[in-house]
Structure 1
Amino acid sequence: MNDYLKAVPVEPEEPPTPAESACAEAQAWLAAEALAAPPLLTPPAAAPACETRPSAIIDGTMPSLLATPAEAPSEAEATDDDDVDPPFASAPIDATIEVFGASDDQAWPRLDADLLLCADALSPPADVDCPVEALPATLSELDDRLGGAGRIRVAIAVAGDPLVAGPGRSLLAALGPDRVRVHAAIGPLQAALARIGFSLTDLEVLDLQRLGPPGVLARLRRGRLYAVCPDGEGTAAIGRLLEQAGFHQARVWRVSADPAVPIEALLAFELSDRPTPACDDGYVVAYTVGADGSSRDWPGIPSTEFDAVLPEAARLLALAWLQPGADECGWSIEGDEPALALDWSRERPEARIHCVGTADDCLARFALRHHAGEGLLAEVDGSFRGLATLPDPNVVFLRAGPEFTQQVRTAWDRLRPAGRMVVAAEHEQSRLELMQFAHRHRPVHWQDLTVSLGDGAGRFELTAASSVRLMGWRKPARG
């Protein structure tokens, strides 16, 4: 029996991708167990938008917020649970709900409701002509209150933007747009941008507190308009980040939502040197011009910055065949210097990339130097047996080396439907093993590259040419 058959793939528990987290966020309300400690009503985590259809309404009965998707137990469960009391079931919610944002210093909208649930931070106006109650602090309490309200009109007032704070988005996902309407409000960032004539659709928002400096650096590109939300270091730290990325001449505006705070128009290096204002609660809008090349718009870290990696031409071609997405899980089997994984992570900072055969300290040093994303994961065990503990990949890049035959077969077996795999072979033996695998599984891409590097600092001549064979496969989609 071949050695590669000894590695039994294991289905590990992999963390959800950012896109999967966004889509599953609202559905978690429907799957919460009644006996579990109810979570607090906290603002949902920022994530990329996704198209999520609300839960289906079956037989005209609205679901409870805490109802489980599968109501009927299996035969085995019914047999085992005959002597166990059934769990508490909340009443279905028949009310129509409107969620809106409010503040005490602005006029409230006209309410057409039979009941107002108001957040503790708000003081409802005196002319409200319906009963006013405090917004329940937990999801289970909110579920009970809405379930017992009957077929009435309920208004929920939250402080700030209801798309960020409060239960609006989750109510909409659980009950559907026929029963829930969420009225968007203007947040402090929108108010600050409006002072200089921008909207959220005009720029890309980077949250320094959530992404951290490496995450912001990985996303900065030349000729883009950004709104950067500062962390505890203040707005001057954003100027230093822009300088670190090579955007010393970037045009920046320091602007606050408070109309009484003056707007400052600066260059990035001036923002770094300018004294921090007493109330530094504003945002930095930056137009990235005047780059010195430190922040590269194109993938392909020069091979001269490593000891022995594939040339840029081979890495760029491999990435063009792989087409990795930000929400996909990938394997990069390159050894000590994961150059392609770094190129990959720079273009898809949120992608989870398992760098097989790379040490933690080595990967951290490379990621910091080349401004890679936060999704890089070091996997010290570079053997094919170490692949058994990794989650199944959507994308695989494999540079032929020791145990190449076992690695490529294991990677192909573990590749998910519609997944892509690219293999690079540089030596005669590895090219022979690659051809043997290609006879069993015909590739969709196949190209030989001959690369000769030039040394601009030394003598004006080219090095000896080296040949790289690249092959690419694509697994059929399920069904």
Structure 2
Amino acid sequence: MSHAPVTVVGIGADGWPGLAPGSREALRHAEVLIGGPRQLDLLPGECTGERVAWPTPLRPAVPALLAAHAQRRVCVLASGDPMFYGIGRTLAEVLGAERLRVLPHPSSASYACARLGWALHDTDVLSLVGRPLPALTAALHDGRRLLLLSAGAGTPAEVAALLRERGYGPSRMTVLEQLGGDRERRIEETAVNWRHPAVDALNVIAIECRREPDALRTALTPGLPDEAFEHDGQLTKRHVRAATLAALAPAPGELLWDVGGGSGSIGIEWMRAHASCRAVAVERDPVRAGRITRNADALGVPALRVVTGRAPAALADLPTPDAVFIGGGLTAPGLLEACWQALPSGGRLVANTVTLESEALLTDWYRRHGGELTRLAVAHAVPVGGFTGWRQAMPVTQWSVGKR
């Protein structure tokens, strides 16, 4: 059954009085009004359409609910701007953009920046609604301004605790409640002094990031300090890691297989390159697999998927990668072949090794498929008696290649 056009109306805490005339007209003439209970309660009696509250969970229910009212005039209510972390994206995916008429309201981010005097285009906006709190960590940089779309009344206290844990206790937090409504309120305190276990459930959190002087500094470029990772020695060290990420060349939306994950450092830094980058770390040791998960949370990429199993068998059901990194187990029978076969045309493969046996294998594949074969050698200055000398780390042989 084909769907009639659906109108999506953004509404704020100011309710009916804050709506533009076109939005009011659409709501008055709707035969079906779909939204959250709080949004539906904002409508006056002159909106006579059948009121339908979204079920939980929402996303799986959308196609059937719209199909049930396919031949009626449907208005969907959304908070603020429906296309800004709102229901508008889901409706566009289900119905197609051509069947949507979107009437936006100012977003909570626009209201917040207006109240704070911040430039919206210079402010990083993250949603914590239905998303893990540790993802906030990747956005923490000294001097940056953040806006967080809160998941509920307890979110500011949880954010304050995370800021303290990550060395950002001096950060100033401003919680803006009921933006645009007659119960609008503002609470300001540093994260280290936050003393509000709960606030109004409809809130936005503004953060002015301030790092403690001795807190670990995490940059945007690849090559985080080795001490940023919990590890047992199975870690691609900082300078080699930076060279490896440069060869892997992450781009937005791409998927990496990190085979022989160890501490997860390559997959984690791949995902930190862009919010839409994805990675799967494959690690046979359950203890190390748990360590990868903890590192991913600590460094702001909790969406890193960890598969505990031995490659190549553990690779069988994984989604097609855009790039593959092999950091261990190169001599396992069939591993390199399985990774190469899984790559589509244009995909990249990077493999590192420190052993002669694996180096011989990479040399053979280099002869057959081309690419670049590189020897990476790093030395660190160390005390030698009363003087200073160089201590050489084990050289790393790296093969990087693009599949034609």
Instruction: Pick the TM interval, shorter chain.
Output: 0.7 to 0.9
Q: Structure 1 residue 228 and structure 2 residue 228: aligned? A: no
Cα offset for 1:209?
Answer: 4.5
For residues 131-174 of structure 1, give each alpha carbon's deviation from its aligned partner in whole angstroms, at most 9, with x where no partner exists: x5325677557556553x6xxxx573626334466679626973
Match of 1:284 in 2: 205
Provide the secondary structure at the position in 2 that maps to 1:423: strand
Contact 2:292–2:306, Cα closer than 8 Å, also in 1: no
Q: For 2:280 and 2:93, how far apart are their aligned partners in 1?
A: 36
Q: Structure 1 residue 263 and structure 2 residue 186: aligned? A: yes
Question: Cα gap change, 1:287/1:156 in structure 2, threshold over 3 Å: closer, same or farther?
Answer: same
Provide the secondary structure at the position in 1 that maps to 2:30: strand
**Sequence identity (%):** 20
For residues 156-201 of structure 1, give each alpha carbon's deviation from its aligned partner in whole angstroms, at most 9, with x where no partner exists: 3626334466679626973654x64211113445434432234654
Contact 2:250–2:273, Cα closer than 8 Å, also in 1: no
Match of 2:9 in 1: 100
Cα offset for 1:472?
Answer: 0.9
Provide the secondary structure at the position in 2 that maps to 1:324: coil
Q: For 1:246 and 1:237, how far apart are their aligned partners in 2?
A: 15
Question: Cα gap change, 1:408/1:156 in structure 2, threshold over 3 Å: closer, same or farther?
Answer: same
Q: Which runs of 5+ in 1 are unaligned?
A: 1-33, 35-63, 66-92
Q: For 2:130 and 2:331, how far apart are their aligned partners in 1?
A: 40
From 387, 397, 400, the equivalent of 1:469 is 397
Provide the secondary structure at the position in 1 that maps to 2:216: coil
Question: Cα gap change, 1:363/1:371 in structure 2, threshold over 3 Å: closer, same or farther?
Answer: farther
From 285, 300, 307, the equivalent of 1:359 is 285
Match of 2:367 in 1: 439
Q: Structure 1 residue 211 and structure 2 residue 211: aligned? A: no
Amino acid of the structure 1 residue aligned with 2:103: H
Provide the secondary structure at the position in 1 that maps to 2:391: coil
Q: For 2:52 and 2:170, how far apart are their aligned partners in 1?
A: 50
RMSD, aligned CA: 3.7
Contact 2:19–2:105, Cα closer than 8 Å, also in 1: no
Match of 1:133 in 2: 49
Q: Structure 1 residue 294 and structure 2 residue 216: aligned? A: yes
Contact 1:252–1:267, Cα closer than 8 Å, also in 2: yes
Question: Cα gap change, 1:145/1:302 in structure 2, threshold over 3 Å: closer, same or farther?
Answer: closer
Contact 1:448–1:468, Cα closer than 8 Å, also in 2: yes
Contact 2:235–2:262, Cα closer than 8 Å, also in 1: no
Contact 1:354–1:379, Cα closer than 8 Å, also in 2: yes
Provide the secondary structure at the position in 2 that maps to 1:389: coil
Q: For 1:387 and 1:466, how far apart are their aligned partners in 2?
A: 29
Question: Cα gap change, 1:260/1:384 in structure 2, threshold over 3 Å: closer, same or farther?
Answer: closer
Match of 2:36 in 1: none
Match of 1:117 in 2: 31
Amino acid of the structure 1 residue aligned with 2:394: S
Question: Cα gap change, 1:175/1:458 in structure 2, threshold over 3 Å: closer, same or farther?
Answer: same
Provide the secondary structure at the position in 1 that maps to 2:117: coil
Question: Cα gap change, 1:400/1:118 in structure 2, threshold over 3 Å: closer, same or farther?
Answer: closer
Cα offset for 1:402?
Answer: 5.2
TM-score by length of 1: 0.66
Provide the secondary structure at the position in 2 that maps to 1:254: strand
Question: Cα gap change, 1:310/1:116 in structure 2, threshold over 3 Å: closer, same or farther?
Answer: closer
Question: Cα gap change, 1:360/1:456 in structure 2, threshold over 3 Å: closer, same or farther?
Answer: farther
Structure having the higher Rg: 1
Q: Which region of structure 1 is more displaced relative to structure 2, 110-119 or 194-203?
A: 110-119
Contact 1:160–1:186, Cα closer than 8 Å, also in 2: no
Cα offset for 1:313?
Answer: 1.5
From 216, 233, 243, the equivalent of 1:317 is 243
Provide the secondary structure at the position in 2 that maps to 1:462: strand
Q: For 2:247 and 2:67, how far apart are their aligned partners in 1?
A: 49
Amino acid of the structure 2 residue aligned with 1:268: A
From 238, 251, 265, the equivalent of 2:159 is 238
From 143, 150, 158, the equivalent of 2:77 is 158
Question: Cα gap change, 1:278/1:117 in structure 2, threshold over 3 Å: closer, same or farther?
Answer: same
Question: Cα gap change, 1:99/1:425 in structure 2, threshold over 3 Å: closer, same or farther?
Answer: closer
Provide the secondary structure at the position in 2 that maps to 1:374: coil
Amino acid of the structure 2 residue aligned with 1:227: L
Match of 2:58 in 1: none
Q: Structure 1 residue 427 and structure 2 residue 355: aligned? A: yes
Q: Structure 1 residue 174 and structure 2 residue 95: aligned? A: yes
Contact 2:144–2:209, Cα closer than 8 Å, also in 1: yes
Cα offset for 1:397?
Answer: 0.7
Amino acid of the structure 2 residue aligned with 1:286: I
Amino acid of the structure 2 residue aligned with 1:285: A
Q: For 2:384 and 2:268, how far apart are their aligned partners in 1?
A: 25
Question: Cα gap change, 1:405/1:245 in structure 2, threshold over 3 Å: closer, same or farther?
Answer: same
- Comparing both structures, which one devotes a greater share of its residues to strand? 2
Provide the secondary structure at the position in 1 that maps to 2:131: helix
Provide the secondary structure at the position in 2 that maps to 1:283: strand
Q: Which region of structure 1 is more displaced relative to structure 2, 415-424 or 338-347?
A: 338-347
Provide the secondary structure at the position in 1 that maps to 2:349: strand
Question: Cα gap change, 1:199/1:169 in structure 2, threshold over 3 Å: closer, same or farther?
Answer: farther
Amino acid of the structure 2 residue aligned with 1:431: E
Question: Cα gap change, 1:228/1:209 in structure 2, threshold over 3 Å: closer, same or farther?
Answer: same
TM-score by length of 2: 0.76
Question: Cα gap change, 1:145/1:254 in structure 2, threshold over 3 Å: closer, same or farther?
Answer: closer
Q: Which runs of 5+ in 2 are unaligned?
A: 34-39, 54-61
Cα offset for 1:435?
Answer: 0.8
Contact 1:117–1:157, Cα closer than 8 Å, also in 2: no
Cα offset for 1:439?
Answer: 0.9
Amino acid of the structure 2 residue aligned with 1:318: T
Cα offset for 1:396?
Answer: 0.6
Q: For 2:269 and 2:30, how far apart are their aligned partners in 1?
A: 53
